[in-house]
Amino acid sequence: MDFSLTDEQRSIRETARAFIEKEVIPLESEALQRERRGEKALTREELRALQAKARDFGFWGLGTPAAHGGADLPAITQSLVWTEVGRTFVPFEFGGETDNILFKADARQQEQYLTPSIEGERSSCFAVTEPNAGSDLTAIRMRARRDGEDWILNGEKTFITRGVESDFSIVIAVTDAELGYRGGFTAFLVDRAMGYETTPIETMGPSEPAAMAFDDVRVPHANVLGEVGDGFRLAMEWIGRGRYVIPSQAIGAAERLLGMAVEYATQRETFGKPIGEHQMIQAMIADSEVELESARYLVLLAAWTVEQGRDPRHESSMAKLSGATMANRVVDRVMQIHGGMGYTRELPIERWYREARLWRIFEGTDEIQRRAIARGLLSGRRRIGGHLA
């Protein structure tokens, strides 16, 4: 078994790392100050300027098909790049990307929604979660009623990432309750100008998701994404990609944090010697390294499964669960190693601490990942060690 990266993968990773270190990490101090004033860490204009610089490096549309001007990188290479992005808490992402299910759009929809989103001229959000439908997406209740050549949407969505600032939403609604989620959910492209309302939700972290209210919002039938009744499948396809992207970023954050802990442990002295010579500090550093490397290979396994054209759900659930929980344990240990200084706002550890906690909740909670993994084994759909078969 060969676990080494190809020369191309290594080159792309190192170029991404150089860009992040040169262009993004130096923005961290200002980003922290802005967030503490209640401002955005990066304005939309600043983000687009950074993305334009990255485009000159060749980073544009990591997963976007070449036919749409993207790099169309393989999943493993994308994972490596997202790991580098995760090394900073500045909310940066490479441009040329959009919601993966937007590629299901027809020609007119591509012109109005897909292409402008890829170019950064428009921004989207994915609206599926509701007050009583979080982990259980089959429980959504937002209704869409056909009215001639339009659909009338009524209901609520909540905790929608980018919901406040997006220009349009991909909304999953019930179009036929009798068919249930397998054929009764439909995806709609809904412009903000069509009339939905958004309210920001304050959280303990830097993210500011939105509550969204739809009161007789009229959407043309031409704005159905995919086919009527295909909404649940599209929703699961959208969520599935995040289950190896999120832990990829968590690995990058854990790498940076563990590096801070190692550096601090060699400099800080107690009882006349560096704290790194104390066994309890060594144990925290060692445990973090073991868990970090374990999560890394589960994430790469999930990405490899995607590249092989296999069903990646089992591996992706393991990667999401492992990466998210690992990063939370690592940031907690790093704070402990730094002692009181780690708890202050003088260092960015507390900032990562708050953000990392979200990774165990959104796009599939820890409990949902465990449920998916266990059901795969108990049903016989998956064999223990099946990826080696």
Active-site entry in 84, 130, 315, 363: 363
The three-state DSSP-derived secondary structure of the chain is CCCCCCHHHHHHHHHHHHHHHHHHHHHHHHHHHHHHCCCCCCCHHHHHHHHHHHHHCCCCCCCCCHHHCCCCCCHHHHHHHHHHHCCCCCCCCCCCCCCHHHHHCCHHHHHHHHHHHHCCCCCEEEECCECCECCCHHHCCCEEEEECCEEEEEEEEEEECCCCCCCEEEEEEECCHHHCCCCCEEEEEEEHHHCCEEEECCCCCCCCCEEEEEEEEEEEHHHEECCCCCHHHHHHHHHHHHHHHHHHHHHHHHHHHHHHHHHHHHHCEECCEEHHHCHHHHHHHHHHHHHHHHHHHHHHHHHHHHHCCCCCHHHHHHHHHHHHHHHHHHHHHHHHHHCHHHHCCCCCHHHHHHHHHHHCCCCCCHHHHHHHHHHHHHCCCCCCCHHHC
Length of the chain: 389
156 is catalytic: no
Q: How many whole angstroms separate alpha carbon 368 and alpha carbon 323?
A: 14
Assigned token pair, 70: 């993207």
Assigned token pair, 30: 């200002």
Q: How many whole angstroms separate alpha carbon 59 and alpha carbon 11?
A: 12
Task: Specify the pairing of strand 210-220 against strand 168-174.
Answer: unpaired
Catalytic residue numbers read 363
